Structure 1
Amino acid sequence: MTPVLLMSLVLTQSPPLHLQYSAPSDAAQRTLESYELSEWEPSAKADLYVGVDEANLRQTPSADAAVVTTLPLGAAVRVLERRAERVKVGEYVNHWYSVEYIDTKGTAATGDDQRHVGWLFGNTLTPYRFESDFDGDGELEVATVVMSGDFKIRVRVMEPRVKPPRRVSSVDLTPAGGGYLSVEGGPARAKLVSAKTAGIALVQVDSSPEACGDYRTTFVSYTVPGKKKGVLGKAQLALELAGLSDPPSHSDFKVSFQPKTKGLTVAQTTYEDDEKGGVKDEVTTRTPFILSEGVYMEQVPSGVAGSETMR
């Protein structure tokens, strides 16, 4: 039995500090212990979700084990147990987790009078699930954020009325820090930017490794031409911003949304630390953007050669 698509999830989630998946950039140095990855603890509530298109819930912790049921993207689960050892399954290194599938009412889902309890591999799980009308067609889509096997941050969006296997669109984002650290992958934090705030619902992904001053914020959109219902649209990178905090040099950014026009302004500030702990050579550049087919395009005001710069 395949559980019905989750349309109205009312469960509480408690995400960790970040979603992590990284390993040495030199593949020859990648041992099971060298991977850094998020680990989930047993919980009394459902605070994790299926982050992949479909996940086979298995009877035992093995990729060859019999399938209890198949869980769709966004399905809520409660962790019962984590196997201590890390193993490699396909291109991923992770733990196996014993989980219980939780339905939209927050209770254990059943099929044939039995609870849906089984094992999922760690790469299929995420604390980040968002439900919103991303494409403005009046229906709620489901979005998740996971880490891919090639150390990218993968955002998936599922259309509720499109039948599998072609009902999910995804886009990969590059974690920050790759230019400074000898690892691939990194951390990711995610949140939903509402249509009330931005004029369009967006998934915001922040990546900021603790070991370096490089950080990045990316906004992901999902659009369907003509806002047609029952049609799979396109998840895409709407805007990517990068910052740096590498004393004495700094580069910060701040985003201001204009929801009525579906535009935004980015204020990018660069400055240097002085010898007395203050700031010198501070310059702020304000750049307006407007949304076009799901992507923010830079706008140059009429009669102005470039963006507005303030000192």
Structure 2
Amino acid sequence: VHHAMPVIYLMLVIHSAFLAPVGWWTGPTGPLLALLIAAGSAAALLSLAGRIGRRRKVGGTVESFRDAGAGVTEVVCRLESGWKGHKAGQFAFATFQSLEGAHPFTIASADRGDRRITFQIKALGDYTRRLGERLHHGQPVTIEGPYGRFDFRRGSAGARQIWIAGGIGITPFLAWLESLQGAENVPDADLYYSTRVRADDPFATRLEALCKALPTVRLHIISTDRDGALNAELLHQRHGDARRTDIWFCGPRPFGDALRTGLARLGMRRMRFHQEAFEMR
């Protein structure tokens, strides 16, 4: 689909150029229309030529992969020397099969300086559901990135930090927690992780181990089968007295929207809601 869109756009441009009424081009909006079409055509051609993001692309290999459980495939890639590293919370486009094209995944590990990155990939569609069957050790991979600014260090000074993850949205927080191991300046934060069944979750034990080494990061695992859904009322009850609040959310958009609107309705004071969503492509 991603490869087809530029072709479809160019076909529509040709169709418009030959069949559009003359008045479209001779009217006052004609030059603007021509400029927009030219810009779109240039972008389409760049996409077809594979030039978008080329400077950020680096090759590598699949070093290991495994079924982590609950429909999650863990993939570790070793990248070539062109990789300049990443910040915890960023994502990258990974191409495991050239015909399939690139897909965006959060980098679920901290930068250790060894050019290794880890993806935790949830089976959310046909491609990701079958990914584990298509991988093999030593398989070539192309990574484009890193991108993104999901970083708690960009928060307001003195604000209470609340981190919220829904399902596979825990991945940037895994990278955050890894990056803070042994660090001098660890924030005071509450991390809420909402999962369907705590007993079957592939990340809960890892989260507990990481947070145990970070006394100022308090972990709250919400198992919805037992505790019910995490909601704005609970968050407001626990943190509504804060003078300023920075909320960092990664998870399904409806979940984040419900929390945002609910907290605003309850009067959460001076709240900044940073949201990383899964709707880029």
Q: What is the TM-score normalised by the length of structure 2?
A: 0.26
Higher share of residues assigned helix: 2
Q: What is the TM-score normalised by the length of structure 1?
A: 0.24
Higher share of residues assigned strand: 1
